[in-house]
Structure 1
Amino acid sequence: MIATAAANIRIVLVEPAGPLNVGSVARVMKNMGLHQLILVNPQCDYLGEEARLMAVRAADILETATVVESLPAALVGCVRAIATTGDDCRSHPMPLESPADALPWLLEAPSALIFGREDCGLTNAELNRAQRLIRIKSSDAYTSLNLAQAVAICCYELYRQEGSATDFVADVTDVTERNKEERIFSQSPLPPLSPSPNPSLSQSSPLPNSVPLEQLEGYYEQLEGLLLKIGYLQPHTAASRMEKFRRLYNRAYPTVDEVAMLRGVLRQTEWGLKSYPRSPVSDTLDGALPENPGDIKSE
Structure 2
Amino acid sequence: MPNLRVVLVETAGTRNLGSVARVMKNFGLQDLWLVNPLCDRHSDEAKHMAVHAPEVLTNAKVVESLPLAIADCQRAIATVGRIDQGEMPVIDTRTAIAWLSQMQDTAEVALVFGAEDRGLSNLEIQHCQQVMRIPVNPEYPSLNLAQAVGICCYEWQLQTNVPRSSKLSRQLASQIDQDLLESKPIDLATRTELEAYYQQLETVLLKIGYLYPHTAFHRLQKFRQISDRANLTSAEVRMLRGVMRQVDWAVASSDK
After TM superposition, the score normalised by the length of structure 1 is 0.78
Query: Which amino acid in 2 is paired with 1:96?
Result: V
Divergent runs of 4+, >4 A: none
Instruction: Name the residue aligned to 2:230.
Output: 252
Q: How does 1:76-115 map to 2 (within 5 A)?
A: 76-90=71-85, 92-107=86-101, 108=103, 109-115=107-113
Deviation (angstroms), 1:201: 3.3
Deviation (angstroms), 1:277: 4.8
* Distance in 1 between residues matched to 2:203 and 2:255, nearest whole Å: 20
| Root mean square deviation, CA, Å | 1.5
* Distance in 2 between residues matched to 1:207 and 1:116, nearest whole Å: 31
Q: How does 1:155-234 map to 2 (within 5 A)?
A: 155-165=153-163, 198-201=166-169, 204-205=181-182, 207-234=185-212
* Distance in 2 between residues matched to 1:44 and 1:95, nearest whole Å: 32
* Distance in 1 between residues matched to 2:113 and 2:55, nearest whole Å: 21
Query: Which amino acid in 2 is paired with 1:69?
Result: E
Contact preservation (8 Å) 1:38, 1:67: yes
Tell me: CA distance 1:17–1:277, structure 2 relative to 1, closer, same or farther (3 Å): closer
Q: How does 1:256-267 map to 2 (within 5 A)?
A: 256-267=234-245
Contact preservation (8 Å) 1:161, 1:201: no
* Distance in 1 between residues matched to 2:99 and 2:138, nearest whole Å: 28
Tell me how many residue pairs correspond in the alignment.
242
Query: Which amino acid in 1 is paired with 2:120?
Result: L
Query: Which amino acid in 2 is paired with 1:102?
Result: A
| Greater relative contact order (CA < 8 Å, ≥ 6 in sequence) | 2
Query: Which amino acid in 2 is paired with 1:115?
Result: F
Q: How does 1:15-54 map to 2 (within 5 A)?
A: 15-54=10-49
Deviation (angstroms), 1:207: 4.3
Secondary structure of the 1:111 match is strand
* Distance in 2 between residues matched to 1:231 and 1:115, nearest whole Å: 36
2:42 corresponds to 1:74 = no
Instruction: Name the residue aligned to 1:146.
Output: 144
Q: Deviations over 1:135-191 (max 9, x none)?
A: 1111121011111100000001001111223xx7xxxxxxxxxxxxxxxxxxxxxxx
After TM superposition, the score normalised by the length of structure 2 is 0.90
Gaps of 5+ in 2: 171-177
Query: Which amino acid in 1 is paired with 2:227?
Result: Y
Query: Which amino acid in 1 is paired with 2:115?
Result: R
* Distance in 2 between residues matched to 1:134 and 1:270, nearest whole Å: 36
Query: Which amino acid in 2 is paired with 1:18?
Result: G
